[in-house]
Amino acid sequence: MLKIKPSLYLLASFSIWLSGCASPKIDLEDTVFLTKITNTGLKHFEVGLKRARPEKKALTNKDVRRQRRQESRINPSKITSVLIDAANRHIEQNGYCTTDYWILDTNIYSSNITLRGECNEPASSQDRAQYPDTIKRW
């Protein structure tokens, strides 16, 4: 019997969810917004999908083949659009970046699907008090 990997389950279920969307959007409750302000005042952030905790169940060979077909249909630009949309909505909601941001990196091919960015403006003392460093590893 084969066991399903959580990362494959997350990727497959996310791609199925995206395939049904004309305009990709995700509920903000299904994402996390983390912040980090450096010693030099750079304001970094990371938006990621919350990890699914699937039940581990035995898969048949047919299930594995179906899962591989679904993974091959993943559209990186759709996943990136969903992450950008989530970042924009988080930033609009919490005011972290006031003059836009740069996208530094996206990671869509692992179990930790994320977008990382940097605000265009430096951090103020008020920003340092309001936004704690919640990113553990940058």
Q: What is the pLDDT of residue 16?
A: 47
Q: Which residues contact 15 (CB under 8 A, 6 or more apart)?
A: 70, 71, 73, 74, 75
Can you tell me whether residue 83 is helix, strand or coil? helix
Q: Are 57 and 4 in contact (CB under 8 A)?
A: yes
Q: What is the pLDDT of residue 109?
A: 80
- Band of pLDDT at residue 2, cut at 50, 70 and 90: very low
- Phi and psi of 55, rounded to 5°? -70, 140
In terms of Cα–Cα distance, which of 57, 49, 5 is closest to 24?
49
pLDDT, mean of residues 59-69: 76
In angstroms and rounded to an integer, the radius of gyration of the C-alpha atoms of the chain is 17
Q: What is the pLDDT of residue 70?
A: 67
Lowest-confidence pick of 67-71, 96-100, 116-120, 129-133: 67-71
